[in-house]
Amino acid sequence: MHYLEQKPATHLTVIFVAEPSAWMDISQASLEHSKRWIEMMNNLIAAGRRQGVSLQWFSPLNEIDYGSPEGPKITPGEYAEVMEQLAVRLQANGYGDIGLIGLETASGSTTDAYLHALKNKPTITQMLKAIAMHDYAGQSSDIRPALTA
């Protein structure tokens, strides 16, 4: 990461793509699992900062509407809650300058529901700097209406 940061106009983005271990699988919808996952994400950023990595963008979840093996499958409400908790934790630990990338849905047809769930979560909406989505079926979705609703 240090090597990449030395290149002109380089901004590092970390995208966390992995099926979570059972002890922190947030798709289990338990408070304890969520706490462990948030702790791991926070520690990942803290370790990078201690090493002098100026992480600017972070995408902590991938394909939340699809699930394994890319990440946990969670509902829009669970996603909004765990992302809000993560954002609160990051800000409390001095990492509020990191731009979070949200959604990373695997189907354009589910994107609106996840966006709508974030509407009343003030900390994540403040830290959310980009929205990503993709679709393996070749479908595209215009999410602009959901952004302004």
Instruction: Convert the pLDDT of each residue in 84-104 to its tens digit.
Output: 999 999 999 999 999 999 999
Q: Hey, what amino acid is at 43?
A: N
CB 101 within 8 A of CB 132: yes
Tell me how far apart the alpha carbons of residues 135 and 57 are, in angstroms, rounded to a whole number.
22
- What's the whole-model pTM score? 0.85
Helix (H, G, I), strand (E, B) or coil at 137: coil
Tell me how far apart the alpha carbons of residues 1 and 55 are, in angstroms, rounded to a whole number.
9
Residue 138 has a pLDDT of: 73
- What is the arithmetic mean of pLDDT over 44-53? 90
Tell me how far apart the alpha carbons of residues 114 and 146 are, in angstroms, rounded to a whole number.
10
- Chain centroid to Cα 96, Å, comes to 14
